[in-house]
Structure 1
Amino acid sequence: MKKISTKIAAFILIAIFICACNAVKRVPEGKHLLTKNEISVNNKATKEEIIFNQLYQKPNSTFLGYRLRLNLYNLANLNPDSTYQAKFTNNPEKYERQSRLLSAKQVDRLGKSFFYHGIHDFLKKTGEPPIIIDKTKTDKSILRLKYYYFNNGFFNVKATYTIDTLKTKKAKIKYAITTLEPYLLDSLRTSISTPVLDSMYEATKNKTLIKSGNQYKTSDFEDEKNRITTHFRNNGVYYFQPNYISFDLDTIKKVNKANVNLVINNYSYQQQDSSKTEPFKMYKISDVNIYTDYSPNGNNRQITDSITYNNFNLYGYEKIRYKPRAITNAIFITKGTLFADSKTVLTTRYLNNLKIFNYPSIQYEIDKRDSTAHSLIAKVYLTPRKKYSFGTTFDVTHSNIQDIGIGLSASETIRNVFNGAETLEIAARGNIGSSKDLANPNNNFFNVSEYGVDLKLNFPRIFIPFGTEKIIPKSMIPSTLITVGFAKQRNIGLDKENFTGALSYNWTPKKNNTARFDLFNAQFVRNLNPQNYFNVYRSSYNALNAIGKVYNTNSSYYNNSKDKDLIIEDGTLGFTNDVLTGNTSLVPTDKNYENVKSIEERRVRLTENDFILATSYSFSKTTKTDLLDNNFYLFRTKIESAGTLLSLLSKATNLPKNSDNNYQIFNLEYSEYIKTEFDYIKHWDLTKEKVFAVRTFFGIAIPFGNSNNVPFSRSYFSGGSNDNRAWQPYSLGPGSSGASNDFNEANMKIAFSGEFRFKVLGSLKGALFADAGNIWNVLDNVTDEKSTFKNLKNLKDIAIGSGFGLRYDLSFFVIRFDLGFKTYNPANETNKRWFQEYNFGHSVLNFGINYPF
């Protein structure tokens, strides 16, 4: 308690000290600290971010209205070395005393310590020097403001500024802008010297971005240049560049209007010492030469092998190791067609996606065999990666099951396995972890372990016995992935063996769109330790044991006559069997009878082995352009059907059913269900490093036919660092049941999240969030009204959590801490659901890597 009080007192003192700092401490005499910029446009104040971004000087950043970084900088000693030396310059005897005590070398080194030097470096780096008003930069700001408005059609803009002194060494700048009326585009004419280009332009004139009546914008003219250039270069005009396009504006005798003349001159080039011009030509591809083992450092090597295949010429400095089709399938540049930039880009993208070559190089040269000089030879240079590569990874992870996990994996990648540009990856992995949510009778820190082996074989095409080019053309970069895996978990409850296998087809229908079709995805889960069920699921045991203390009469089922706790597993199984066969005083109409029946049904479901054979289709679309894009959306959907094919085969072959009236494969009931999911994420960039993000999710899995429930591995849970952060994982729902089980799951889920992210200090970010959602049972064998979703009235069981978090951006990943508070808990009584647990005692601290969505 004493230590805590000391820390609190120290924190308060530091806060008071920072607040007491003089903001103008490092502002020289006669200068002023910039405290605010004000901009008025036509006598009206504006807050538009894009306008303020034109200014060269902006006030020091603030946090909740306080200039924290400025005051941190003011706390720093800018010359700690001089200050440290001055101590001894003024007092030589002090240096001699300390040198005798520590040695001269140690005294000098002390000046570089954190206390004397490091803390000031930290304050300077974390802090921010005062922004002092600079007239030169203010004049530049005026010019930039004029350029901004000029580029938006205000050709007669006027801009001035005044410096308003507030108090000693502080001032604000007031910018005044008068735009007058904007100029509008009037008529559009063209002067295109090359006839073929004139015809090409006229064919797409309706797509022009320069239209009569529009307000002048420089950006529209730049975009139009790029549009025209792209169109020409995708239709054979090899030498065309944007600098051949210019626009002449005529405002003479016009009132706020401008006539536009689009000018495209002929091709100009240098020949010896003179410049020449001629009309642009359209070029066709006369040959496509592919160098399959090119080395940038092997210029003196000689071609020793060659193949001609489908009008492609393949060359090798050594023996060609690839089936021709494997390479030519990736080439979209074809003999006899017009030159097109788009085909070059697509070819580069496809070749790069093969992952057997380094980044390819594609070059064009004039074919000297063509006397008309209208032909190009395309040369594709491919540098193979190493056939074999070995890799290892070491991971420290956090998940909804493991509080901390340590993983090590090793993989061997073999490229061009069957000479068709295939890649084979064989990987082995091991993991140990710690989880406070799992049974841990020996109180070991690492109470979770897992190891596994995975094999992945990738074909850079649709691997199927019939053609798919009309459905999925090669421009969609299709691939086939065959995977086989085995994993074994130890000390994770029931312990499991997991066998998986899948045949998947992947393609990209459009840019930033991805599609995946799993022809089959098989999973066999075998529980190795089902007798450990009640040691793992303690809530189920406690509920059963409480009933047993009252109704159990068989002394062999409990440990002793005093406690009468049911023995795991003989006692729990024996008592359950007695209840369900009518050998106790409990009758089916009794609530405790229903509870025992429900506990037994859940035990059987979670301990039985699962066999799943599913077919699924997944699709995703995003507008995200790169990692720094904070204004985008992401949509994902998936539909999965399991067991349908097996049921059709079972019916067709008249397989017998078991005692539960279900079909079996290898003496095992297979799962049958249909599952669909929708996930939508949207980010809004609010500028100044502020982002608002939302996520909505809906998923449902409906069992039918051979199943009356969904396998645990395909069900949904709620809570955790990437879900409703006010609850621990698996501790929310279903519905208003109050999470009565240890690992609560169901077959339907609804989730909504909103998060406001903002900069706090340097790489430290903050967030305010609200999460809502829950899980329910629907159309399965669960009958508990509190757990099931029957109609829209059950939406009142949506739980709401809110809170705040901190994120530290390490560039390559983000470390995240979120503190969630239970705002609305549907498990409580109706009049005690709102804010009854909104306190630190009931809060949940979440640790995560990267943002939750």
Structure 2
Amino acid sequence: MKKFLSKILVFLLIVDCFMGCEATKRVAENEHLLTDNTVIINGKKENTETINNLIAQHPNRKILGVPLRLHIYNLARENRDSLFEVWLDKKPNRRERLTKKLSKKQIDNLKESSIGFNNWLKKTGEAPVILNDEKIKKSVKHFQDYHINNGWFNVNTSYNVKKNDNKKAQVEYNIDTGKPFIIDSIKYEVKSKLIDSIYQTFKKNSLIQSNQQYKTVNFEQERERISNELRNTGFYHFNQDYVTFEIDTIGTNKKVNVGIKIQNRAITTQDSIKRVPFNIYDIREVNIITDYSFEKRNQPFKDSIRFGGYNLYSYGKMRYKPRALTDAIFITPGDIFRDRDRTLTYRHLNLLRTFKYPNIEYSENLDNSLSSTIKLSPLKKFSLSLGTDVSTSNIQTVGFSVNPSLLIRNIFRGAETLQVSAIGSIGASKEKNNPDDPFFDINEIGVDVKLTIPRLLSPFYTERIIPKHMSPNTKISLATTGQTNIGLDKQTFSGTINYNWLPNSKKTNSLDLFNAQYVRNLNIDNYFDVYSTSYSSLNEIAQDVNYTTEDLSKPDGANAFIDYALSDPTPDEFSEDQLSTINSIDERKERLTEDNLILSSSFSFTNDGRTNLFDENFSIFRFKIEFAGNLLANTSKLLGLKKDDNDRYEIFNVAFSQYAKTELEYTRHWDLGDKNVLAIRSFFGIAIPYGNSTNIPFSKSFFAGGPNDNRAWTAYRLGPGSLESSNEFNEANLKLAFNVEQRFNIFENLNGAIFVDAGNIWNVLDDVEDEKATFTKLSSLKDIAVGSGFGLRYDFSFFVFRFDIGFKTYNPVYEESNRWFKDYNFSNAVYNIGINYPF
């Protein structure tokens, strides 16, 4: 490993030395290449993002200390077309000889290719940054303005340019801030007594406080805060322009005396401005036009309803239940005017997915009241979409799928949406079990029906617990799919009743009141074709003990051998390790081929601190808890149902699953500036079987590895514990994971990352007894696997293409003294391709 890193370092040094003399290749004699900016504040060097962003001219960007894009640009030739002509005529008869050999058209194409490549070098590269005096002065002004706006009113800024003989230059900025000015006294002048009485209730939260350093941004935000508070307390005509500040620093010994003024309302006439006190406005009426369009605006209404104080109008027949609309409207007749009510109304009407962006207008009445008109333009009742996909995988050579979807809006006149989706696919398997099968021997068909209701569908009154401002909705879904010639072949049926609500813009709650899943395996005889390593291990043991000299037949021969090896009494020819392997294969086979019935309820909570899609300084916390099988277990006991041979209750001849499962996940991003982001993620999950189960269904278990987990192992190949399993799909019921990744920009839309991933899965409190695979005590944490590596990401704006290389840094399958860097090389590396960031 050390030799490998040394070689890279030596290579970079050679490249840097080789390219150093070429950096000024495109710099004219009277010009200088800017290579470095240094900012010194009060005698100390500063390199923070805030300070760097104030500099108007930066040197060419570097990768590992080398201005790679500058060198790429310098590889391009100026006037490439004329240079090509010179090259053609440089030797006698070259043009004539090439014309006879290639034809004039081919020579023209060669010329265009040469020019095209030259242009690509210029576009991919970066032109040299030439020292510019005007931009230096602009940077000085930025430094001055920044420090003055943050309280250093006596700041002095100077600069020094060092020009070298090699046509390179460095700029040093020196900033002496002096002592900052501190806010001293604060005086208030509020013209309106009514506003003053309300202002006193929220004045204590002011962003301008005595003994704080002066900051212009605090004054701007305080003006906005005062305006928002008053506009949400009934003052319809108030805005930020009515809040002014007076700043006095004359003879105050670096103190700032502040005067805050809130003026009366200004009413402009033709030749004068009259000042009058502000009044509180209330909402007299709210009119809702349910089918507005510009063409209908002058037509009379044909239908109207008054409901809950709201007036609903329609140019045609009323197509909506009044409550479905009024529940999404927060401008309430009889209440005072609040600006935030309009924002909430916009948001909740959009969540209905039934109308175009609404138009909300206020009109002023003579008695200090407002009339609000909400114009709703319905979307089309039916919306049809069609998706297609072409894919390939380790299972199929090629596959084609089609996914039609029909969306029906306002299906029951309550702004509900019904979405009916279907999937149909065909594919050609790589390993045909039956040579007589047609080329497209894989097929899947499925239907998914989802109904979204914009309220909680419940026999109980839930408004006090979950009020309408939390955007409650109910989702009911039914789905079924059928697969043939894909692994064991399956039929699945599922049904869900789900509640969702949002306490605020960051928090999301989701309750699966009822979630039923039934999975039926149709082709269990194909088990040993799907899980071929299990078959290989079984076949090897059979030949070692001379059970057969030929390969075991599938599935009868393999099943017969398992029954023979595990018979009572145990045959003498098997060792303990062989019997343990056969027993594990048998247990896994029984588990993966049995049908599953899961009836569960779950609750999940998410706190997402992101302010927008581009925020890179946030945290996300997710929590989920799930219980399955309790209702069926209690019902079975009450009905006195009999248990099967494995002491489990069955429903429709299927033993239902019973377990408790929880997951905790925390993600944190730190924006370090200049497109550098440090990201971490931690995860803990455990699923405990009890009652009617001794293990967790495969679909509910955990796995490790893959492009979004521990990238030094492929998906399902890590764990459990220190077990070196030969199974294709390794899973368990306990998982720990921790990831850290440093992301940085290389150039333009190409970004890089270095990462460390740690974690593993274990079996705990289930029917697995292998010590290597189980988590018994804290000492089991020594089996946490560690992977590290690097990657590239290309940002296409609407998605990010990701390529990562993961190296096994600490591999728990080896002896404890030999786990570090055992397989740390490219031959054992894992190459991952993914879409978007892993966390």
Class of the TM-score when normalised by the shorter of the 2 chains: over 0.9
Q: Which moved more, 1:93-102 or 1:730-739?
A: 93-102
Which one of the candidate residues 552, 575, 579 is aligned to 1:566? 552
Aligned pairs for 1:631-650 within 5 A: 631-650=617-636
Q: Distance in 2 between matches of 1:398 and 1:279?
A: 72
Deviations 1:418-458 (A, max 9, x none): 0110000011124567999x998979999865432111100
Count the aligned residue pairs: 827
Aligned to 2:57: 57
In structure 2, distance between residues paired with 1:405 and 1:607: 25
Paired residue for 1:768, among 754, 758, 762?
A: 754
Q: TM-score, length-normalised on structure 2? A: 0.93
> Following TM superposition, by how much is the alpha carbon of 1:596 offset from its aligned partner in structure 2, in angstroms?
2.5
Deviation by residue 1:816-841 (Cα, 9 ceiling, x = unmatched): 11111111110112222111111111
Q: Which runs of 5+ in 2 are unaligned?
A: 1-10
Which of 612, 628, 644 is residue 598 of structure 2 equivalent to?
A: 612
Please identify, of 668-677 and 566-575, the stretch whose mean Cα deviation from structure 2 is larger: 566-575
Sequence identity (%)? 49
Shift of 1:544: 2.4
Mapped pair 1:382 → 2:376? yes
1: CA distance between counterparts of 2:429 and 2:743?
30
How far apart in 1 are the matches of 2:388 and 2:236?
A: 49
Change over 3 Å in CA distance of 1:807–1:430 after alignment to 2: farther
Go from structure 1 to structure 2 and tell me whether the alpha carbon gap of 1:445 and 1:808 turns closer, same or farther (over 3 Å shift): farther
8 A Cα contact 2:488 2:523, kept in partner: yes
2:781 paired with 1:795: yes
**Cα displacement string for residues 348-399 of structure 1 (whole angstroms, at most 9, x for unaligned residues):** 11000000111112111112xxx33x11111111111110011122346799
Q: CA distance change for structure 1 residues 35 and 405 in 2, over 3 Å: closer, same or farther?
A: farther
Letter in 2 for 1:475: H
Q: Answer yes or no: is the 8 Å Cα contact 1:398–1:847 preserved in 2.
A: no
In the TM superposition, what is the alpha-carbon distance from 1:548 to its structure 2 partner? Answer: 2.5
Q: Distance in 2 between matches of 1:797 and 1:435?
A: 37
Letter in 2 for 1:184: I
Residue 592 of structure 1: how far off its partner (Å): 3.2
Q: Which residue of 2 is the match for residue 7 of structure 1?
A: none
Q: What's the CA shift for 1:677?
A: 0.3
Task: Map residues 262-277 of structure 1 onto 2, 5 A cutoff.
Answer: 262-277=260-275
- Per-residue CA deviations over 1:47-96 (Å, capped at 9, x if unaligned) read 22211211111111111111111122222235445555677899999878
- Residue type at the aligned position of 1:748: L
Letter in 1 for 2:24: V
Call closer, same or farther: CA 1:270–1:444 in 2, change over 3 Å.
farther
Q: 1:397 to 1:279 in 2, by over 3 A?
A: farther
Return the alpha-carbon distance in structure 1 between the equivalents of residues 335 and 91 of structure 2: 87
Alignment of 1:200-599 (within 5 A): 200-367=198-365, 371-372=366-367, 374-395=368-389, 407-431=401-425, 450-551=444-545, 563-582=549-568, 585-586=571-572, 590-599=576-585
Deviations 1:306-333 (A, max 9, x none): 1111111111122221111111110010
Deviation at 1:152, TM superposition (A): 0.7
Q: Which amino acid aligns with 1:429?
A: I
**Map of 1:663 onto structure 2:** 649
Look up the equivalent residue of 2:147 and give its one-letter code. Answer: Y
Are the counterparts in 2 of residues 552 and 575 from structure 1 also a CA contact under 8 Å?
no
Instruction: Give me the whole-angstrom Cα distance separating, in 2, the residues matched to 1:531 and 1:431.
Output: 23
Once the 2 structures are TM-superposed, how far is the Cα of residue 293 of structure 1 from its aligned partner?
Answer: 1.0
Q: Give a deviation string over 1:217-247, Cα, whole Å, max 9, x none.
A: 1111111111111101111111211122111
The structural deviation recorded for 1:740 is 2.8
Which amino acid in the other structure matches residue 70 of structure 1? L
The one-letter code matched in structure 2 to 1:234 is: N
Q: 1:189 to 1:723 in 2, by over 3 A?
A: same
- State the SS of the aligned residue for 1:39: strand
**One-letter identity of the residue aligned with 2:819:** R
1:452-494 alpha-carbon deviations (Å, 9 max, x no partner): 2111100000011111111111000000000111122333321
Report 1:104-183 matches (<5 A).
Answer: 111=111, 113=112, 115-183=113-181
How many angstroms apart in 2 are the aligned matches of 1:435 and 1:793? 45
Q: Which moved more, 1:444-453 or 1:237-246?
A: 444-453
Residue 389 of structure 1 aligns with an amino acid whose one-letter code is: S
User: Where does residue 718 of structure 2 map in the other structure?
Assistant: 732
Which whole-Å CA distance do the structure 2 matches of 1:719 and 1:526 have between them? 27
Structure 1 residues 632 and 440, CA gap change in structure 2 (3 angstroms): farther
- Could you tell me which of 728, 734, 756 is aligned with 1:748? 734
Please state if 1:828 is matched with 2:811: no
Q: For residues 546 and 96 of structure 1, what CA distance do their matches in structure 2 show?
A: 72
Give the equivalent residue in structure 2 for 1:783.
769
Residue in 2 that maps onto 1:6: none
CA contact (8 A) 2:16 2:66 kept: no
Distance 1:510 1:283 in 2: 27
For residue 678 of structure 2, the aligned residue among 692, 700, 715 is: 692
> Residue 5 of structure 1 aligns with which residue?
none
**Structure 1 residue 109 displacement after superposition:** 5.8
In structure 2, the residue matched to 1:717 is: 703
C-alpha change, 1:116 and 1:311, in structure 2 (3 Å) is same
Q: Which moved more, 1:810-819 or 1:425-434?
A: 425-434
Distance, in Å, in 2 between the alignment partners of 1:137 and 1:494 is 69
For 1:498, give the aligned amino acid.
Answer: T
**Deviation of 1:575 (Å):** 2.3
Aligned partners of 1:53, 1:404: CA distance in 2, in Å?
Answer: 50
Q: How far does residue 658 in structure 1 lie from its aligned partner after superposition?
A: 1.7
The answer on whether the counterparts of 2:743 and 2:754 sit within 8 Å (CA) in structure 1 is yes
Q: Helix, strand or coil for the counterpart of 1:795?
A: helix
How far apart are the structure 1 equivalents of 2:813 and 2:270?
86
> Does structure 1 conserve the Cα–Cα contact (< 8 Å) formed by 2:184 and 2:256?
yes
| Alpha carbons of structure 1 residues 629 and 584: separation in structure 2 relative to 1, 3 Å | same
Query: Does the CA contact (< 8 Å) of 1:439 and 1:493 recur in 2?
Result: no
SS of 2:340's partner is helix
8 Å contact from structure 1 (residues 734, 776) kept in 2: yes
Q: Call closer, same or farther: CA 1:454–1:756 in 2, change over 3 Å.
A: same
* Partners of 1:585 and 1:738 in 2: CA distance: 27
User: More displaced, 718-727 or 291-300?
Assistant: 291-300
Deviates more, 1:476-485 or 1:653-662: 653-662
How far the C-alpha of 1:405 sits from its partner, in A, is 7.0
> CA distance change for structure 1 residues 94 and 385 in 2, over 3 Å: closer, same or farther?
farther
Look up the match of 2:66.
66
CA distance in 2, matches of 1:482, 1:314: 29
Structure 1 vs Structure 2 CA RMSD: 2.8
Shift of 1:299: 3.5
Q: Following the alignment from structure 1 to structure 2, what is the Cα–Cα distance between the partners of residues 191 and 822?
A: 68
Kindly state the Cα deviation for residue 565 of structure 1 after the two structures are TM-superposed.
2.5
- Whole-Å separation in 2 of the counterparts to 1:118 and 1:64: 29
Report which stretch shifted further, 496-505 or 572-581.
572-581
Partner letter of residue 705 of structure 1?
G
